[in-house]
Chains A and B, each alone.
Chain A
Amino acid sequence: MPELGLRIANLRCRVAGNEILKGIDLTVEPGRVHGLMGPNGSGKSTLALSLTGHPQYEVTGGATLDGEDLFALSPDKRARAGLFLSFQYPASIPGVKVANFLHAARQAERPGDLPPAKFRALLLEKMEQLGIDPSFMGRYLNDGFSGGEKKRLEMLQLAVLAPKYAIMDETDSGLDIDALKDVGRSIAALRESDEGRNTGFLIITHYPRILQYVVPDIVHVMIDGRIVMTGGHDLANRIEREGYDKIRDDKHRTGAVV
């Protein structure tokens, strides 16, 4: 029986020669919601992209997904193993239609599970849940999309792919309250569905606001490439009150649980 969870052990990552991640240990268990907070430049997005397999990141240490060695897999195989990243800055690909892309992704991750008509129905249902206009399907992937539209499309992909583990990289940035509520509802809907009941979430954010709509079981704080504090939902509230400076000052309490 493999050890379940997205398990990260002593992960270090260099980007263009600079060490950004300085030894991360973190486990996201199935069905749990983890918040990962930290100031700009602390390495949160680097963690997300290094787990996903960004080609320019040099990574050492280990990461397993339900026992499978992630770093032995190419990015597409990591996705097929059940890892999903909601990108902070998703690429735009003019000429690739949203519907075709989503179908290709679903086919890659769950080959042959849905005939095209059923897939279309699923897509329409998820789009309605997210308040996305059906005309989205015929648009080119992220091409000319507003910031909010890009985030909604990432959420739609999350809903359609129903991964085992989802990393949400600053999904809240640039969203208004209504859009944020849609994100919260969409994650809740996935967690209530058969496909997504056991999905583990790592929600990366810079502001605690999103964590009011998706209540985390555990909150981690990352500063300067290290996790400096882990706690319950209260930790997010404390950051809202005190900011990151106080925690930076208390850095000697690395790993302390409040």
Chain B
Amino acid sequence: MSSALGSRAGSHDLYRRLDAFDRSQFGLEQRYRALDRFFALPSGREKPGRFWRVDFETIAPPAAQIEPGAGTASITSRDPAAVVCDLATAAREHPQLLARAFDTSGIAATKFGALARAFTGLGFFAYVPADHACDEPIEIRYDSPARAAIFPWTVVLADRGARVTVVERVRGGPGAFVCGATEVVSAEHADVTYAAVQQADADARIISSRAARPGRDSRMAWSVAELGGELSAGDLHVAIEEPGADARIAALFFPRHAQHVDLVSTVEHRAPEATSETLVKSAARERGQARFLGNIRIAPHAQGSDARLRDDALLLSPLAHVDSVPALEIGANDVKAYHGATVGAIDAEQIFYMESRGIETSAAERMIALAFFEPAIECFPSPELRDEIRAAVAEKLT
């Protein structure tokens, strides 16, 4: 993918592009500093090697692809009690609400989060007031046209006792570059589910940074399906800073042909008596490559934490490759922590059993592979969305 990569040599062009962005909002000075960080910071991701062919340190959008106003985006909510608007409107009309969540997660201090911060413009803000439950999901779409670069930034703020589900769909045309960020902040007893389904074109590059900070005794769930793109790099972060929070991460990805997926999930237990569960299901076909790094960090004072991490990868072709690295750092002594990981081909006994019921080998493999994803698919919030994901996975199995 070297042809599509930017380089340091072209970095002046990226700075020049900043001048085209709105100076009055999100701070031109902050944009410059964010771009500095993007160039200065290491990605912290795997270096290219025998299996891995992506060099994250040299990834940058071609400056010529960057236009303010590029891409189409929409947000739909039928709930008049929720505040739902684009970021610029939120900055103008709800600055105090926005400030409670926007740029508070530390995303902008990471390499690609800083890139998204530098070119912030496209994006939405959703606020759900205290004790209000949104019965229908808030739906967000981001779509990058071919050979464009977009930097969507989504902010969700759920007040005390609020309940909301957000469904985000990302698409990108051929050669698109999408570098997005999502921040979710909730107050006590809130219940937030954020589901994201990415189905970009096969040679698009999609980088996403997602961070949540759940309130005391609240529930926060990330459900993420990375299905498209030549490169899909994701960072899923939950910082538990209040006791009693329940955090769920479910992720699935399925690289095939020349697709690469690099996913890092991190759950930080920095408060006592919180639970977290991370569930990752992946498959790879042809020369598809994926890496998953699952971090669980339990701080010394986070007693009574209960953290689980389960990660299974299915290899459907001899050249497919999935690296799976669970990483637990446990500083407290009164905790429960579990992790389990498997990487392997479909079990021959399962195929034989299905064949013995008249089901052809290829159909059996399809059913088993689809089924393999099912526990992760079931974490997505609506039957329609789950069917959409099943159809996309089934498509990748044909």
Contact = CB atoms under 8 A, between A and B. Distances in A.
Instruction: Identify which of A74, A75, A78, A96 gathers the most chain B CB atoms within 10 Å of its CB.
Output: A75
A224 B347 CA distance: 30
Contact of B356 (A53, A94, A95): A53
Given A55-B348, A55-B352, A95 B373 contact: yes
B355 A75 contact: yes
Interface stretch (A79-87, A178-186, A195-203, A212-220): A79-87
Instruction: Identify which of A91, A157, A161 gathers the most chain B CB atoms within 10 Å of its CB.
Output: A91
Given A85-B356, A93-B353, A104-B367, A74 B373 contact: no
A172 B370 CA distance: 33
A159 to B, nearest CB: 13
Contacts of B373: 95
Contacts of A79: 355-358
Contacts of B353: 87, 90-91, 93
Nearest to B370: A95
Interface residues of B, number: 24
B350 A80 contact: no
B264 interface: no
A95 B372 contact: yes
Contacts of A109: 357-358
A242 B310 CA distance: 53
Interface string B321-354: 0000000000000000000000000011110111
Nearest to B376: A95
Contacts of A240: none
A76 B364 CA distance: 10
Given A55-B352, A87-B353, A95 B358 contact: no
A238 interface: no
A26 B12 CA distance: 83
B20 interface: no
Interface in A23-54: 52-54
Contacts of B359: 76, 104-105, 108
A244 interface: no
B358 A91 contact: no
Instruction: Identify which of B348, B357, B361, B363 gathers the most chain A CB atoms within 10 Å of its CB.
Output: B357
B316 to A, nearest CB: 15
A90 B352 CA distance: 10
Contacts of B372: 94-95
B75 to A, nearest CB: 33
A71 interface: no
Given A54-B352, A91-B350, A157 B357 contact: yes
Interface of A: 52-55, 74-76, 78-80, 84-85, 87, 90-91, 93-96, 100-101, 104-105, 108-109, 140, 157, 161
Interface of B: 347-350, 352-361, 363-364, 367-368, 370-375
